[in-house]
Amino acid sequence: MKRPFASCKTARNGNPPAQPPSPSGLNNVTVKKNKPTTPADSKLPNAGAVLQSAGAGLPSGAPSKRICVIGCGTLGSYLIRRLLDLYGGAVEIIAVEMGDHKIRNEEEMGVTAEAGNTNVASLGRYFGLGGTSARWGGQVLFFDKRDNPENDPIWAEIIRINRKHQQTVLEQLLGNTARFVSINPEASGGELSASLKTGVWLRYNRRNLYKRMVRPVRSRVQLKTNRRIVGFQVEGNRIGAVVLKSADGKVEHLTADRFYLTAGALESCRLMLKLQADFPELHQQNTGKNFGDHISTELFVVQDARPVLDGIDFTPQVVNGSLVTKRIVALAGNGMVGFVHFVFNKDIRAFKFLKEMLFGKMSTSIGIKDLLQGAGFLLRFAWGMLVAKRLYVHPGQWSVQLDMEQAVPNSNSLALADLPDRYGEPALRINWDISKKDKEAIADVRNQVEALLRRNKLKFKAKYDPAVTGNKVEDVYHPVGFLPVGSVVSMTGKVKGLENLWHFSTAMLPSARSINPTAAVMCHIEEHLEEEAAG
């Protein structure tokens, strides 16, 4: 019988996959009972040893370098903060943001894409200071050897960078990491425990990465809001300036010594496509190609049972104000990687109301009657979060969800459309679909999960049927693959063919594999900064 999930022997090249890594990073998390310390993000954050020593030796006085950061969303905010750790007052940082302090979607910003059958543009991106982090927060996860079953050298380097810098990223995002101990308490040699990966959701009141920069830090950044980059001035193999345009049509030019493109995966790709259209000599073959995402589908609904499989409890825990979740790394027979996770309280209307409020929706479909009927649930939920330190899970039912990577290479792509947006700029045209290979991977993992549920003698109802065509399968807004490392950018984000342009977004990753990929990109930012510190 086939072994389930990441322990499955099948790999893309026929070779056995590498064994799961020793317990490091966030494979599993437990709580260390020690005295809390002041979170690192309550003041100017502690830099790593290399950045700390580099910044200490830089001269004071007038800045010697001018840096322009294009986009002050999730990764732009993280980058700015870490640049200030490295350079201190030796640099002048100017951040250009299309939005402002109010977070808006693409329709509100007037930059609607031609997206066809994907919602990645309309529901998956937000504009304004803090960007998507202000709306969704996000889970902190990293790649490991289980994400490279084919032993691919590019993936091996991505994983090396993740392992090298994940502790620094954890300290920056979670602050008091003494609360998160990198051990594997459930590793008993079983197949399922070897397939576990743990994620940590950012605390609700600390999720906006721009606002986490305290006022003295933000005051060191020149902020240009409500301005969009509409062009580049290229001088040889360097960017000399960028062209900014406000919503009312005002145009200005901004010069800098170096530029960082952190405008989000989709807008960054649009700008790269525009740059190449204006300067064909900078053409890079893979820009906009092999667009991938996690494709998500509900596999089963489990009834009248706690979320315990092979003795492992998958109920999310609350640790230092953050929600800690477990997922199962899944490996399909064709070598594709994804993850199985669990959705709780989905049909509880009071819980839906809580999520709508937490994620910033201005209106709700839940009425007063629903809230009154759900009063008992809300009390149990509050008790669980505040006292028991775990998510209250309604005993009626919970769902088993699969998020699967898409095959690479694929025919999905991003291109410039003829349709102009509110700024008179060409919009994005997104061609996206689910391939036959994608569906084969889903069907294979579904069978593995069914075997796991039967082994645990659970009562369940199937939701995904490979034999029919009406299954609900959706993208989950983890855009990857279309500005990839190795061809468009280097492992440290440098855009090939240009001396002074760097790019960081999830689009630089070939695929999302088993994680929500944003924190993994932060490891590449750390690798770049370490390279800069070393001279």
123 — pLDDT class (breaks 50, 70, 90): confident
Compute the average pLDDT of residues 259-278: 95
Percent of the chain with pLDDT over 70: 81
List the domain range (segments joined by +) for residue 37: 5-533
Whether residue 192 has pLDDT greater than 50: yes
**In whole angstroms, how far apart are CA 282 and each of 136, 231, 272, 415?**
35, 14, 10, 16
In angstroms, rounded to a whole number, what is the distance separating the alpha carbons of residues 343 and 324? Answer: 14
pLDDT value at position 99?
93
In angstroms, rounded to a whole number, what is the distance separating the alpha carbons of residues 325 and 196? Answer: 10
Whether residue 319 has pLDDT greater than 50: yes
Name the pTM for this structure.
0.87
In angstroms, rounded to a whole number, what is the distance separating the alpha carbons of residues 424 and 405? Answer: 35
pLDDT value at position 109?
92
Q: Tell me, what amino acid is at 316?
A: P
20 — pLDDT class (breaks 50, 70, 90): very low
- For 341-353, write each residue's pLDDT tens digit: 999 988 776 666 6
Pick the residue with more confidence: 415 or 190?
A: 415
Summary mean pLDDT of the chain: 84
Percent of the chain with pLDDT over 90: 58
Buried b (16+ CB within 10 A) or exposed e, 12-41: beeeebbebeeeebbbbbbeeeeeeeebbb
Judged by DSSP in three states, 36 sits in: coil
**Number of Cβ atoms within 10 Å of the Cβ of 330:** 29
Least reliable range by pLDDT among 47-56, 225-234, 312-321, 436-445: 47-56
- For 59-87, write each residue's pLDDT tens digit: 455 678 999 999 999 999 999 999 999 99
Q: Closest by alpha carbon to 49, among 171, 161, 216?
A: 171
Pick the residue with more confidence: 263 or 135?
A: 263
115 — pLDDT class (breaks 50, 70, 90): confident
Q: Tell me, what amino acid is at 473?
A: V
Q: Catalogue the long-range contacts made by 339-342 (C-beta closer than 8 Å, 24 or more residues apart).
A: 339/197, 339/402, 339/403, 339/514, 339/515, 340/5, 340/299, 340/400, 340/401, 340/402, 340/445, 340/449, 341/401, 341/403, 342/307, 342/314, 342/398, 342/399, 342/400, 342/401
- For 369-422, write each residue's pLDDT tens digit: 666 666 777 888 889 888 999 998 887 779 999 999 999 999 999 999 998 988
CATH number at residue 86: 3.50.50.60
Tokens of 528: 């770049």
Residue 6 DSSP one-character state? G
Place of tokens 């990293």: 142
239 — pLDDT class (breaks 50, 70, 90): very high
**Number of Cβ atoms within 10 Å of the Cβ of 109:** 20
Beta strands in 220-304 (DSSP E): 221-224, 227-235, 238-246, 251-255, 258-261, 295-303
**In whole angstroms, how far apart are CA 34 and each of 168, 179, 311, 387, 437?**
21, 8, 27, 18, 48
Least reliable range by pLDDT among 127-136, 186-195, 418-427: 186-195
137 — pLDDT class (breaks 50, 70, 90): low
Greatest C-alpha distance within the chain: 69
DSSP count for the chain of H helices, then E strands: 12, 23
The total of structural domains in the chain comes to 1
- For 469-509, write each residue's pLDDT tens digit: 778 888 888 999 999 999 999 999 999 999 999 999 999 99
232 — pLDDT class (breaks 50, 70, 90): very high
Phi and psi torsions of 456, nearest 5°: -90, 10
